[in-house]
Amino acid sequence: MKEEYDAIADLIMRARKVVIFTGAGISTESGIPDFRSPTGIWSKFNPADFTFDKYLVNPEVRRMTWWRYREMKVWEIEPNAAHYALVDLEGMGKLDCIITQNIDGLHQKAGNSEDKVIELHGTVRHVTCLECEKRWPFEEILRWFEKGIEDPHCDECGGLLKAATISFGQAMPAKETMEAEERARNSDLFIVIGSSLVVYPAAYMPVFALESGVPLVIINREATPMDHRATVVVNAGAGDTMSAVMERVK
Ligand code: NAD
């Protein structure tokens, strides 16, 4: 593994605009299960039961969705070594941005600047009204649950509430998606951390970087469909790998 750590460190030292692309795998060491690992969320639930259309019409789907988000307890969860390594990267002036598929807000909690993090799939840090777009911090809606409200609706317009995440079947956020594509194409190093690279359109981001001749690094416990196109692949934990790499860069 030492050779791969050296190679990634070398690429970072020569880069000025590093784009990091993160998936659920960067947060498993903080205690949040991913989707597709053998113990991941989809080993317990069927993704087809959690589409946006079903959320709109089925109170039981909403109840289960709120339950899953409440079980994540993101407000109690702490970032891990991999998140903190990215804070160091920003401190060194090397980080162009983090494009994340994660909804847990752990990059910002670790200390990366809000304007360096592009959330492609939204966030559970907020809840939004699907009618009037009023927003609340998730913790505030938690208090509604504690009062016994199981299917919360907007206190102003009566619209349906939903965590500010992008569910299956919901449109991707246009501004974030366009900005992510532009930054991927204009980067000089693109590093994937903890993503199976099978969820599209998010998984186009490394492809955009490759199309511009940008070297690709993949750090993921399991093989991904893009490994053969990467300059360096590390099949190991994100925390140990990023700590070892940043030790060399410092
Ligand atoms: P995924 O579940 O499809 O893939 C995660 C990958 O990370 C797997 O290939 C796994 O081998 C790898 N992995 C797990 N732990 C790792 C570790 N410690 N170090 C390195 N690699 C590790 O997740 P994805 O590619 O992000 O795509 C699925 C969707 O999951 C995204 O849309 C995202 O919104 C959603 N999701 C997010 C969270 C979160 O916010 N933390 C949690 C679950 C799912």
CA atoms of 25 and 44, how far apart (whole Å): 17
The answer to whether residues 183 and 247 belong to one domain is yes
The answer to whether residues 84 and 102 belong to one domain is yes
Give the pLDDT confidence score for residue 1 in this predicted structure.
82
In 3D, which of 181, 172, 194, 64 has the Cα closest to residue 122? 172
Q: If you measure from the C-alpha of residue 107 to the centroid of ligand 1, how many angstroms do you get, rounded to a whole number?
A: 14
* Residue at 166: amino acid letter: I
Instruction: Take atom 25 of ligand 1 and give the residue whose Cα is closest.
Output: 195
The answer to whether residues 131 and 220 belong to one domain is no
Domain boundary among 112, 130, 165: 165
Q: If you measure from the C-alpha of residue 35 to the centroid of ligand 1, how many angstroms do you get, rounded to a whole number?
A: 6
Domain boundary among 108, 135, 165: 165
The answer to whether residues 200 and 96 belong to one domain is yes
The β-bridge partners of 95 are 18
Q: If you measure from the C-alpha of residue 78 to the centroid of ligand 1, how many angstroms do you get, rounded to a whole number?
A: 17
The answer to whether residues 127 and 56 belong to one domain is yes
pTM of the full structure:
0.93
Domain boundary among 165, 199, 218: 165
Mutate to test the pocket of ligand 1, among 20, 34, 227 (most ligand atoms within 8 A of CB): 34
Dihedral of CA 102/242/115/202: which sign?
A: negative
User: Which of 121, 126, 153, 228 does the annotation list as catalytic?
Assistant: 121
Residue range of the domain that includes 203: 1-31+79-121+172-250
The answer to whether residues 129 and 188 belong to one domain is no
Instruction: Take atom 23 of ligand 1 and give the residue whose Cα is closest.
Output: 24
The answer to whether residues 196 and 98 belong to one domain is yes
83 carries an active-site annotation: no
Q: What is the pLDDT of residues 10-50, one digit of tens each?
A: 999 999 999 999 999 999 999 988 877 777 766 777 778 88
Give the pLDDT confidence score for residue 250 in this predicted structure.
84
Residues 6+ apart with CB under 8 A from 43: 37
Give the pLDDT confidence score for residue 135 in this predicted structure.
96
161-165 and 189-193 beta bridge pairing: unpaired
Centre a 10 Å sphere on the Cβ of residue 7 and count the other Cβ atoms it contains: 17
Q: For residues 212 and 41, is the Cβ–Cβ distance under 8 A?
A: no
Q: Give the count of domains, the chain.
A: 2
The answer to whether residues 193 and 232 belong to one domain is yes
Q: Which residues of the chain have pLDDT under 50?
A: none
The answer to whether residues 134 and 55 belong to one domain is yes
Distances in Å between the alpha carbon of 79 and those of 11, 105, 107?
25, 9, 7
The answer to whether residues 186 and 232 belong to one domain is yes
Ligand 1 atom at minimum distance from 42 CA: 2
Ligand 1 atom at minimum distance from 32 CA: 41
The answer to whether residues 149 and 91 belong to one domain is no
Give the pLDDT confidence score for residue 168 in this predicted structure.
87
CATH of the domain at 61: 3.30.1600.10
CATH of the domain at 87: 3.40.50.1220
Ligand 1 neighbours, Cβ below 6 Å, are 23-25, 27-29, 32, 34-37, 40-41, 101-104, 121, 194-196, 199, 220-222, 237-238
* Residue at 99: amino acid letter: I
The answer to whether residues 190 and 248 belong to one domain is yes
Q: If you measure from the C-alpha of residue 28 to the centroid of ligand 1, how many angstroms do you get, rounded to a whole number?
A: 8
Ligand 1 atom at minimum distance from 166 CA: 34
Instruction: Take atom 2 of ligand 1 and give the residue whose Cα is closest.
Output: 35
Q: If you measure from the C-alpha of residue 21 to the centroid of ligand 1, how many angstroms do you get, rounded to a whole number?
A: 11
Hey, what are 28's tokens? 């498993």
Ligand 1 atom at minimum distance from 165 CA: 34
Residues in the chain: 250
